[in-house]
Amino acid sequence: MDAITLPLPQSLDISLVNETKNTILEQIQSDNPIKHIYIDAIKLVRIDTAGLQLLTALVTHCNAKNIKFSWKNINNELTQSALSLGLFDVLKLNQ
């Protein structure tokens, strides 16, 4: 498996972050090495600090494992939330 796309739910807040984390872990912990992870935020309409923390951990994981990381369908909610917490560059939203 060279690349996978991980779609974000409509709401990535503290009430759903564990479920989303488990879904992500199931997809990235496969026997086949992943070379590129895409995050699709097209459905996202709400994100809180717990959601941003999960995404930050995913980016950190990708950096540590030399996995390329890209965004699909970045929206205003994600951008503004990341900017307000100083995570815009950390989350690689500028790429």
User: Which pLDDT does position 29 carry in this prediction?
Assistant: 82
- Crossing angle for the helix pair 17-28 and 49-64, to the nearest 10 degrees: 20
Report residue 80 as tokens.
């503004």
Q: Which CATH superfamily is domain 3-84 in?
A: STAS domain (3.30.750.24)
pLDDT tens series, the chain, 95 aa = 689 999 999 999 999 999 999 988 888 887 778 999 999 999 999 999 999 999 999 999 999 999 999 999 999 999 999 999 999 999 999 87
For the chain, domain boundaries:
3-84
User: Which pLDDT does position 94 carry in this prediction?
Assistant: 87
User: Which pLDDT does position 27 carry in this prediction?
Assistant: 86
User: Which pLDDT does position 1 carry in this prediction?
Assistant: 62
